[in-house]
Structure 1
Amino acid sequence: MDDGTGGRGPASGDRLKHSSKPWNDAATVAQSLATSMASAKTELAAGNNGVAKGTEGLASTAVLKEVLTSWDKRLESARAECQSLAPALRAASGAQGESDAGVRGKVDGIRTPGAHGKEG
């Protein structure tokens, strides 16, 4: 018998589920990556201290400096992106939960013929 839901079961907000855990987990990972990138920048700089003095006169010194600068910029860009992503993911979690609650309230108010054994 067709219950008016296209075979998907009764029209009910009970099937609308939202979990903030994946969003919050992703935010935690993004923050962790931002911290790791900051540490990597520090280690990169420390590992290259004094290299210019030890390689004076070598053509590779300028190339090494370019590579160091390039990696420093990349790490900073990745760190900044992760840093800004963490709060955005947490905000998305909250917004999704609020949206789900609003939709659930509207869906619960819909009665279709045959839903829950009664006519709406």
Structure 2
Amino acid sequence: MKELSLSEIQSIRNLSEHRMLLLEDLFMHEALIIGTVEDGEVTSFAALDCQYISGFRLRIVELVGDRDLFERLKTYAIEKSAEALYVCTADSTLLNFYKELGFRDPSRTDAYLEQLYEDTIHLELPL
């Protein structure tokens, strides 16, 4: 696993402030990254089979299409009133789900996150 330099970490933080998160050449193999942004800071989910990168509070989730994991991540995001939910694959495909689009309205949040689940379930990533 490649370690992130301080400049790379700062770049990610700067990008996240502009509601973008582009992570290229971050991993040696494909993985799914899921995180929230709270007060401009990327924070990690509690999830299975994760590891920290250089102390930066972001975790790599290698479980895709796991309904139980998805439900726990959704619950966590709603409980934390997350500003954004980021999903990024190794090819930098990015889906953003922002608080103003869904997190303030649980019914809309469910719809957005259900679409997220449907959009990621087909990915076949190595475990």
TM over 0.5, yes or no?
A: no
* Structure having the higher Rg: 1
Greater relative contact order (Cα 8 A, min sep 6): structure 1 or 2? 1
Compare the two structures and name the one with the higher helix fraction. Answer: 1
Compare the two structures and name the one with the higher strand fraction. Answer: 2
